[in-house]
Amino acid sequence: SRFETCWPALMKDSHGVIIIFNPELPSHLKEIEMWYSCFVQQQPLLDSQCLLVAHHKPGSSEDTENLSLAYPLNKLKLIHSNLEEDPEDVRMEFIKYFRSIITIINESREREEMSIIS
């Protein structure tokens, strides 16, 4: 990818990674493994800091709803977004995800402060 030179700057000090993909494209299913490897495993971030979003375009086939991803992607939180049918559901999932990231940041900050004190 022509943007690979920018990746280190994008990754610097990041606390979370959201990977959005089209579940109808087999090439996307291969690519998300690469994104996960580069942006989550090599950072390293926890799996709980990564959210996978299978985005369904209007009029897309329904058979991708029960998507089964292979290891290690199957350990990640996966949500299906269909903004025509259920935008509120997606919004709630994003809020939950952001809350979990904030919790992780606060916990690591507390650990740092404790290690400075002790």
pLDDT at position 5 is 81
pLDDT at position 63 is 61
- What are the backbone angles phi and psi of residue 17, rounded to the nearest 5°? -135, 125
pLDDT at position 12 is 84
Q: Are strands 17-21 and 77-81 parallel, antiparallel or unpaired?
A: unpaired
- pTM to 2 decimal places: 0.84
pLDDT at position 65 is 63
pLDDT at position 101 is 96
Start-to-end C-alpha separation, the chain: 45
pLDDT at position 105 is 94
CA distances from 64 to 30, 50, 116 (A): 15, 21, 49
Q: In what order do the strands lie in the sheet with 77-81?
A: 17-21, 50-55, 77-81
**pLDDT tens digits, one per residue of 89-101:** 999 999 999 999 9
Q: What is the CA radius of gyration of the chain?
A: 16
Q: Which residues of the chain have pLDDT under 70?
A: 1-2, 61-65
**Residue 27 CB coordination number (10 Å):** 8
